[in-house]
Amino acid sequence: MKSHFIRFEIFVMLLTVLFNSSDLSAAGPKREMRGVWLTTVWGIDWPSVTGSSQKVCRQQQDELKALLDRCQAANLTSVFFQVRGMADVMYESSLEPWSAFVSGKRGVSPGWDPLKFAVEECHRRGLECYAWVNPFRWSSGIDYNSVPDRRWKEQGWLLTYGKYTVFNPGLEAVRQHVVDICREIVSGYDIDGLVFDDYFYPNRIPEDSSAPDYDLWQAEAPWMTFGDWRRANVHKTVADVHALVSDLKPGLRFGISPAGIAGKKHTSAPKWGMTGCEVKGDDWQYSEIYSDPLGWLYQGTVDFISPQIYWPTTHAVAPYEPLARWWSEAANFYGRHFYASITLAPLDKRNTNSERQELLRQIGINRDSSLDGD
């Protein structure tokens, strides 16, 4: 299946994608996923207002319907709706607090269920609705203090480096909590899929005795390298979530959107029997956030991979075309699907028409390099 996702500030898409949608649809193959990431943290894409009054509820719903109308008009097929950004949720949960990004205050209900509404409105327009979950991120600097937040602190679930705090993937209870969150979503809503993004360990957390999880590593698996232990913790979570999805709803698909470069010869490619990615850019995610996408593909614990290839075809160290082709080959090698996440930066109104053609070039590369069939 030839596919491409667009991660974007949605107002840009609304103003600019339609100018070439007829060109894209005219050249489109029989089967193609054309998806869009709809970001809710900080109200980046939605909602523009927060609160719990009926007036705010109506405005939020009207905004969401208008966005989905334009997704339908742009001939998209799928919406990735962010339902859990900072260990807070956009649906009725027994496990985590309501998101302040919808109600205005963490733990306070907005008076309606955005995920339920989004699923129904997507399906009404013939759009798939995927629930987008940040698996471990708790905070990027704010010290949350709702009842669940205080409990997680008391339980020692949080792992902090710099300003960034995550649920500690090294704790079995944390991994189970992530699975339980996904169970709530998968069992409670008529979603078409589940997707994680690229928030795992805090970026560049040290691998020495100064690390906050050093003692846990020594107690759990001192025979492994610190890095391999961390990657194994992420692998366990991914595998458990995939097993959950497969058991509850076998037709539902689970995927991850990692950073755009992975599988270099000096990182994970030899380990998993794959040809290394040859671009000059570094596979920083392997050693800085302990993300190993080839491992998920090899183990069959994702149904699709959607790497964030946010660079132009002319980029000096991470050119789009060889990256897209390598990811397509990798996914096909392991019997999985590849859906590139691309950027709408070329469509900025300050760019020239020639620069805007970059988006069409990337979509053409996705279609030409697909190994999934027509």
Q: Give domain status of residue 219, yes or no.
A: no
Mean pLDDT of 21-36: 66
Which residue range is the domain that position 54 belongs to?
2-134+170-205+227-369
Q: Is 277 inside a domain boundary?
A: yes
Has residue 158 been placed in a domain? no
Count of alpha carbons within 13 angstroms of residue 77, beta-carbon side: 15
Mean pLDDT of the chain: 92
Q: Does pLDDT of 2 surpass 90?
A: no
Q: How confident is the model at residue 10 (pLDDT cuts 50, 70, 90)?
A: very low
- Torsion sign over Cα 345, 346, 348, 350: positive
Tally the domains of the chain: 1
Global pTM value:
0.92
pLDDT of residue 17: 38
Across the range 24-28, mean pLDDT stands at 52
Residue 212 lies in a domain: no
Cα–Cα nearest to 294, from 278, 325, 309, 272: 272
Contacts of 251 (CB under 8 A, 6+ apart): none
The string of pLDDT tens digits covering residues 59-115 is: 999 999 999 999 999 999 999 999 999 999 999 999 999 999 999 999 999 999 999
Does 210 fall in a domain? Answer: no
**Whether the predicted pLDDT of 22 surpasses 90:** no
Percentage of residues in the chain having pLDDT higher than 70: 91
Does residue 333 have a pLDDT over 50?
yes
Looking at the predicted structure, is the pLDDT value of residue 14 above 50?
A: no
pLDDT in tens, 235-251: 999 999 999 999 999 99
Domain assignment present for residue 152? The answer is: no
In a domain, 183, yes or no: yes
User: Cα–Cα distance between 308 and 23 in angstroms, integer?
Assistant: 24
Q: Per the domain annotation, does 141 fall within a domain?
A: no
Query: For position 342, which CATH number holds?
Result: 3.20.20
Give the residue from 291, 273, 254 showing the smallest Cα distance to 334: 273
Say how far apart CA 23 and CA 26 lie, in whole Å: 5
